[in-house]
Structure 1
C-alpha cells in the first residue's frame, strides 16, 4: 500500500515537472486566462470585414469556456464563483451578442446572473464596494443594455445596484484620467468609461506604452484600438493573440521570471518543494544572478505593484534558500514617498502586495533596519485592511482574504510548523490567487492548480500514514520502558512526536524524528522528576549515576529513567558506528550528563531558596531547557553529519548556543507566574529583582528585547553559510527546533496544557485534508464541450453521466456561432453508449 502511494506521488511529480517546470513550456500557461479581457478582444471587428470578429479564436474561447453553472471566470478553491465573475460574464455575453453567436449560452449566462447576483453583490454597499468593481460593473451593465441584453436584478438588491452606480459617478468626478493618487489609473479602465465621459482620444494615445499597449491591459488596448484605429495598438493585440492562443491574460506582457517565482512559492506553500529541489535551486540561482546584475533600483512606473510583489517574493525565496541578498532588493519603495502615498491611498488594491512585503520581513537578520521599517509600514496597512468592514469579505480583493491576513498577523512565522502550514494552504479556497490585476486576481490556471493540489493532498496523506505508524511505534517504546506510566508529571508522547514531525518535512527522515522524539520524552519525564517528584537525595543519586554512567544504587523512578536513557544512547551509538565506524558513546553520555547536572543545580536552588544572579541563572537555564540535547545527537545522523566533537560543550557552535538560550527565554516569559507561585527562579523574575525601579512589564520587555535579537542572529546563522561548520540540514534542524519552542510558548505555555494541542495533532495525523467540493473537469483544449453531445465524449464519470442525460433529454442544441437551433430530439438514449 505504501509503495503504491509513493509510486502515485512520483508519477504526479514527473507529470508536473514535464508540464510546468520544463524550459520548453510556455510560462503563460501557468496563469489562468482572463475571461473579461478575452471577451474584449472578441469584440474587436475585422478592419476589412467589419461584420466579422478580428480575433475569432478569442470568440471561440468565449464560446467554449462558459462554466457549467453559466458564468465565465475562475472558480475559487471550493468550486464557487466569485464577484469577479459578474463583469466577466456580462462582457462575454456582450461579445457573443455582438456577433449573434451562442444564443443558448447567453441565456445560460443570464440565468446565472439572475440566480446569483443577490448572493454575489448583495452585501456590497457604497462605503466598501471595491473601486475596480464600481468602475467596471456599471459599465458592463450599460453596455449589455446597448447591445440588447436587458439584465434585470432582483428588487431586493436595487438599492445596492444604485449605490454601486453612484460610487462610479463619484469616482469619475473625483479622479483624473492619470494622477499620482489612484492606482491603477482611471485611464487603464478605458473600456469601462461611459460614452459621455470627457475623454479625448489623444489622452489615450499619449499614454501608450512603447509596445503599443495602454497600461499593458488587453481590454483597455482593445478599446483604444476600436476608438482610434492606432496601428501600434493593433500590433500589440496581434502579438498578444499569437502568444496566448487559449485566452489572453489580463496583463501582457507578463514578467516570466515572476511567474516562475510564483510556481516555486506555490510548491513550497503546498509542501512539495522536496520533490523539486533541483529545479527550484536552478531557478533561484538564475534569479539571483539577474538581481546581482541589476544596475539600479526600480523607478516609479505603472507596473509598480507587480514589481514590488516580485521583488519581495524573490527576496523571501532567495534568503530562505541561503542566498545573500540585501533588504533593499524590495525595500526600495521606502525611498520613494510618492510610492508609499500610492500604496496607502490604494491599500485595497495593494493588499496582496503588502502581504507579500510583510511575509518577506519575517526573514530579518541583525541590522536589517530597512526590514523593520517595511514591517511596520506593511503591518499598519494590513491591519487597516482587516478593520474595514469587519468580516465583510467584499472589502478586500477576494473572499477569505481576511482570514489569510489575520493568520499572518496573529501567528509569527517562527511559531508556525511547516506540516500544518501546508495543510492550511491546501484548504485555503483562494490559494490560486497571486496578485491583484485590474479587474481580478492573477490566478494559477485551474488545470495546473488542481494538479498541484492533487499532488499536495496525496503527499500530505502519505505523510499522515507515515506519522501515524511512527507515533504508534513511539507509544509502544514509551510504555515498554515505563515512561508513560510514571504516576507523576506530564505524559507527552504525542506532543513530543507531533512537534518533531510537524516541524520537519521529509518522511524519509524517520530515523531523525524517532531519536529526537524519544529524547524529548526522556527529557520531559526526567525534568518533571527533578521538578516535582524526587527528593534532593534521589536527585543527587541519579545525577551522580549519569555522570558515572552506572545505575548501581538506583531504584524506582530513578532506575526507570536511567535505563531508558542508557538504552537510547546505546541505540544511537550503535547506529552511528554502523554508518561511520566511530564510537560516539562517550560524547552522547557527556551531553546528557551536562543536562542532568543543570537540572540538579536548579533543584538545589529551588529546594534551598538560593537566588542566583540573572546571568548565572541563564547560563544554567540554557542547558536545562535541553534543546541542544535534542538537536546535536540527531545532527550526527544528518547528511552531511556533524563531527562528534561538536557534542562537547567547549566546542558548541554559536548557532547551538543561540538554540539553547532562545527556548529558555521563551519558556520564562510565559511561565514566570507559575514559577513565582512555586518559589522557583526565572529570568524575568530575576531581572525584576535586580532592577527595583522596574515593574513586571519592564522585565518582560527586557527579556523580549534579548529574545528578538537572539532570534535574528539564529535565523542568519541557520540560513546563511559562513557562520559555522554545520551543513545546511543541520542548521535547518536547529531552526526547526526553535520554531517548535516558539510554537509551544508563543502566547501561552501550550506544552503544559492537556487540551490546547489536541486539534493540531488531529489535523497533523488523522483528519483528512479538506480541499472543498470537486470542481467540474477543466475544458478539453479546443473542444466544444459546453454542448451535450461533445461533453459526453470527454467526461466518462458518474457525476457527469446523470447530469448530461437529464440535460440532453430535453435539449435544443444551437449552432456554436450563429446560436440558431439545428437539432431538437430526445438525446438520452443516444448518449447512454458513452458510459458503457
Structure 2
C-alpha cells in the first residue's frame, strides 16, 4: 500500500480521535498478544567457565555530571535578597499590561513578549485579563488585513483557550484558493503565520496549508540570504522548533538575549526578566543539589547497565511543571523518573524473560515477600520502587490527607506490564504492527505515570473522580504519551536496534508497508504533527483536574520534543542537551546596573 494511502488509515486506528475510548480500554486491559508465542524460560546465557550469567549491556556513557559538583550548587540570587527590586519591577510591568491603549497590536506584542521572557508565572492572571479584553473587542470590522497582526492574534487567542476560526486567514488567499504569492515577501508576517499554524486542529485545511506555505517561504528566504541578520536568527530559531513546542524556560533563555538586541525595548521589562530568571535558576539549583545527594545515597547510580541521568531526569520534571511553587512534584517526580528509567533498562536490556515475569508479578501483587527469587540488581530496584512509593505515599497522606499508594501501585503495574509485553515481542521475534505497537507504546513511554504524579503533586485537593479519570488514560494524556513515544523512537531507534531492542515505530511501519526507512521516518514525523493537533483541541476541553495538570500534559510533550530533537538526548546526551542544561542551571544573566 502506498505511503499516502495508508496514512489516513493509521491515523484512524492508531491515534485517539473518535475511537479513543476503545484504544484506551485496550491499553488498560493488556490483552493477550494473540499471535505471539511467548518464551517462558530465561534467555540469559551462562558463562561456561564460572557459571555467571552473561547479560546484554547497552554500554550507555556515564553521567556528564560530577555529583559532588551538583551537590555544591548554590546561588546568591534569592527572592528574599532581591524582594524590593522584584516588587518595584513587578509593579511597573503590571501597569504596562493593564494600561489602556488604542493600539491592540501593541498590547498583543507586549503580552507575547512577557510570556516569551518567561514571566507568565508572575503575571498569569493579568495576561489572561488583557487577552480577554482583546477577545471581547473583536468584530468583523476589526479584523486586520495585515498577515502579521492576524496570525499573532490567532496564536495568542488559541494559546489562551479561545476558539478562533481558521477562516480569519481566508482573506490572504487568491482566487485559486492558494495563499497569495506576494506574501512570501513579508517575512515578519510569514514568521507569525508559521508560529500560528502549530495551534491547528485536525481537519483544519487552511491551517495545514498555512504551515506548508509559511515553512517553504521562510526556508527559501533564508537560503536566498535576502533578509537581515536579526530576522534570519529569528527565522532559524523558529524553523528549528516552533514556539508552541518549546519549553518556557528554554525559550526564556534565548528570548532574553534576543530581546536585548531589539530596538525600542522596555528596560524595566528586560531587567525584570533577567532578575526573575536568575532567581528561579537559584531555586532549581537547590532542588537538583538535594536530589543529587539522594541519588548517590541510594546507590542506584552504580547500576552499570542503566542510564545514570539524574540531572537530565530533573530537567524532564522541570520541563513538565516548571512553576517554582511546585517543587514537591519536581522532587518526587525526578525520583520516579530515575526509577522508571532503570526499570525500562531492566526490561529492555538486563533481565531475562523469566526474571522480568517474576518482577512484573511482584509489582502487580504489590508484594515483595518472595523477592529473594530475583538476582541482587533486580531486588535492589524493586525495593527502591517500593520504598520510594511508600515515602511519596506518606508525604501525600500527611500533606493531602489521601492514601495515594493503591493508585500509585496500579500505575507501576500498567507500566511494567507494557514493558513486559515488549520484552515478550523481542524474545519471541514477533513483529508487532504499528497499531499494536502504538497502543502499547503509549503506556511503555512511561508518560502516564509521570502525569499521574503531576496530578496529585500539584492538585489543591486530590479527588477519586480525578484519579478515576486519569486511570482511563484520556485523550489529553494519550496524546502527550504518544508524542513522547514517537519522538523517542525517531531520536533513538537506530541505536536501540543496534543493541538488540524490539522494533520501534519506524520499523513497524516499514514492516507494515514495505516503505523505506526515510519514508517511514517521514510518516512517523507526520504522526507527531497530527497528534499535536488532537492535543491542541484537548487543551481547550474541561476536565475534573486543575490547570497545572492540563498544562503538564502539553509540557511533557514539549520536553520530549526537546530531548529527542537532534538524536537521543537522554540515553546518549548530545552536546546541545549538555549546553542547554549548562545554561539552564549554571549561567545567570548579568544584571544591568
For the aligned pair, the TM-score class normalised by the smaller chain equals: 0.7 to 0.9
Residue 283 of structure 2: which of 443, 466, 469 is its match? 466
Residue 432 of structure 2: which of 612, 615, 626 is its match? 612
- Paired position in structure 2 for 1:42: none
- Paired position in structure 1 for 2:246: 416
Query: Deviations along 1:241-273, whole A, 9 cap, x unmatched?
Result: xxxxxxxxxxxxxx5111111111110111112
Residue 321 of structure 1: which of 160, 164, 167 is its match? 160
Q: Does the 8 A contact of 1:420 with 1:763 survive in 2? A: no
Q: Does the 8 A contact of 1:423 with 1:769 survive in 2? A: no
Q: Does the 8 A contact of 2:295 with 2:310 survive in 1? A: yes
- Paired position in structure 2 for 1:782: none
Shift of 1:761: 0.5
Shift of 1:669: 2.8
Query: Deviations along 1:9-38, whole A, 9 cap, x unmatched?
Result: 2331013223x23446xx5xxxxxxxxxxx
Shift of 1:335: 5.0
- Paired position in structure 1 for 2:551: 732
Seen in structure 2, the aligned counterparts of structure 1 residues 652 and 454 have a Cα distance that, compared at 3 Å, is same
Seen in structure 2, the aligned counterparts of structure 1 residues 477 and 17 have a Cα distance that, compared at 3 Å, is same
Where structure 1 has 5 or more consecutive residues not aligned to the other structure, the ranges are 28-254, 299-303, 390-394, 434-442, 775-796, 798-836
- Paired position in structure 1 for 2:97: 21
Residue 638 of structure 1: which of 453, 458, 463 is its match? 458
Confirm or deny that 1:310 pairs with 2:386.
no
Seen in structure 2, the aligned counterparts of structure 1 residues 334 and 513 have a Cα distance that, compared at 3 Å, is farther
- Paired position in structure 1 for 2:227: 396
Q: Does the 8 A contact of 1:6 with 1:462 survive in 2? A: no
Q: Bigger radius of gyration, 1 or 2?
A: 1
- Paired position in structure 1 for 2:140: 294
Residue 689 of structure 1: which of 511, 514, 519 is its match? 511
Q: Does the 8 A contact of 2:118 with 2:252 survive in 1? A: yes
Seen in structure 2, the aligned counterparts of structure 1 residues 335 and 642 have a Cα distance that, compared at 3 Å, is farther
- For residues 738 and 641 of structure 1, the distance between their equivalents in structure 2, rounded to whole angstroms, comes to 25
Q: Does the 8 A contact of 1:484 with 1:491 survive in 2? A: yes
Where structure 2 has 5 or more consecutive residues not aligned to the other structure, the ranges are 1-77
Confirm or deny that 1:751 pairs with 2:581.
no
For normalisation by structure 1, the TM-score amounts to 0.57
Seen in structure 2, the aligned counterparts of structure 1 residues 317 and 597 have a Cα distance that, compared at 3 Å, is same
Q: Does the 8 A contact of 1:481 with 1:560 survive in 2? A: no
- Paired position in structure 2 for 1:340: 180
Q: Does the 8 A contact of 1:414 with 1:743 survive in 2? A: no
Q: Does the 8 A contact of 2:348 with 2:501 survive in 1? A: no
Shift of 1:758: 1.0
Residue 217 of structure 2: which of 381, 392, 396 is its match? 381
User: 1:48-127 residue pairs with structure 2 within 5 A?
Assistant: none
User: 1:493-532 residue pairs with structure 2 within 5 A?
Assistant: 493-532=310-349
- For residues 296 and 467 of structure 1, the distance between their equivalents in structure 2, rounded to whole angstroms, comes to 44
Q: Does the 8 A contact of 2:313 with 2:334 survive in 1? A: yes
Confirm or deny that 1:267 pairs with 2:114.
yes
Shift of 1:452: 0.8
Residue 292 of structure 2: which of 475, 492, 495 is its match? 475
Shift of 1:356: 1.4
- For residues 641 and 738 of structure 1, the distance between their equivalents in structure 2, rounded to whole angstroms, comes to 25
- For residues 710 and 261 of structure 1, the distance between their equivalents in structure 2, rounded to whole angstroms, comes to 28
- Paired position in structure 2 for 1:230: none
- For residues 374 and 688 of structure 1, the distance between their equivalents in structure 2, rounded to whole angstroms, comes to 30
Tell me which protein shows more helix as a share of its residues. 2
Seen in structure 2, the aligned counterparts of structure 1 residues 355 and 613 have a Cα distance that, compared at 3 Å, is closer
Shift of 1:296: 7.6
Q: Does the 8 A contact of 1:418 with 1:503 survive in 2? A: no
Shift of 1:403: 1.2
Query: Deviations along 1:376-415, whole A, 9 cap, x unmatched?
Result: 22223322322233xxxxx435x42211111111224455
- Paired position in structure 2 for 1:456: 273
Seen in structure 2, the aligned counterparts of structure 1 residues 294 and 691 have a Cα distance that, compared at 3 Å, is closer
Q: Does the 8 A contact of 2:486 with 2:505 survive in 1? A: yes
The runs of at least 4 consecutive aligned structure 1 residues that moved more than 6 Å come to 336-339
Residue 444 of structure 2: which of 624, 627, 630 is its match? 624
Query: Deviations along 1:473-516, whole A, 9 cap, x unmatched?
Result: 11111222222111222101011112222454421111122222
- Paired position in structure 2 for 1:667: 488
- For residues 466 and 128 of structure 2, the distance between their equivalents in structure 1, rounded to whole angstroms, comes to 29
Which has the larger displacement, 374-383 or 671-680? 671-680
Query: Deviations along 1:603-648, whole A, 9 cap, x unmatched?
Result: 2222232333433332222211111111112212324566345555
Q: Does the 8 A contact of 2:319 with 2:556 survive in 1? A: no
Seen in structure 2, the aligned counterparts of structure 1 residues 738 and 12 have a Cα distance that, compared at 3 Å, is same
- Paired position in structure 2 for 1:597: 417
Query: Deviations along 1:303-361, whole A, 9 cap, x unmatched?
Result: x5xx33222111111111111111233453225789935434xx2xx322221121111
- Paired position in structure 2 for 1:354: 190
User: 1:27-46 residue pairs with structure 2 within 5 A?
Assistant: 27=101
- For residues 521 and 183 of structure 2, the distance between their equivalents in structure 1, rounded to whole angstroms, comes to 35
Q: Does the 8 A contact of 2:97 with 2:130 survive in 1? A: no
Q: Does the 8 A contact of 1:573 with 1:583 survive in 2? A: yes
- For residues 237 and 352 of structure 2, the distance between their equivalents in structure 1, rounded to whole angstroms, comes to 45
Seen in structure 2, the aligned counterparts of structure 1 residues 23 and 740 have a Cα distance that, compared at 3 Å, is closer
Shift of 1:659: 2.2
- For residues 357 and 258 of structure 2, the distance between their equivalents in structure 1, rounded to whole angstroms, comes to 53
Q: Does the 8 A contact of 1:587 with 1:645 survive in 2? A: no
Shift of 1:574: 2.7
Seen in structure 2, the aligned counterparts of structure 1 residues 614 and 352 have a Cα distance that, compared at 3 Å, is closer
SS of 1:428's partner is helix
Confirm or deny that 1:258 pairs with 2:105.
yes
> Which has the bigger relative contact order, CA under 8 A and spacing at least 6?
2
- For residues 269 and 686 of structure 1, the distance between their equivalents in structure 2, rounded to whole angstroms, comes to 38
Seen in structure 2, the aligned counterparts of structure 1 residues 10 and 538 have a Cα distance that, compared at 3 Å, is farther
User: 1:815-830 residue pairs with structure 2 within 5 A?
Assistant: none
Shift of 1:419: 0.7
Residue 281 of structure 1: which of 108, 119, 128 is its match? 128
Q: Does the 8 A contact of 1:669 with 1:700 survive in 2? A: yes
Q: Tell me the C-alpha RMSD between the 2 structures.
A: 2.6
- For residues 483 and 500 of structure 1, the distance between their equivalents in structure 2, rounded to whole angstroms, comes to 19
Shift of 1:688: 1.9
- Paired position in structure 2 for 1:5: 82
Confirm or deny that 1:540 pairs with 2:357.
yes
How many equivalent residue pairs?
Answer: 509
- For residues 271 and 497 of structure 2, the distance between their equivalents in structure 1, rounded to whole angstroms, comes to 51
- For residues 341 and 536 of structure 1, the distance between their equivalents in structure 2, rounded to whole angstroms, comes to 60
Q: Does the 8 A contact of 1:636 with 1:644 survive in 2? A: no
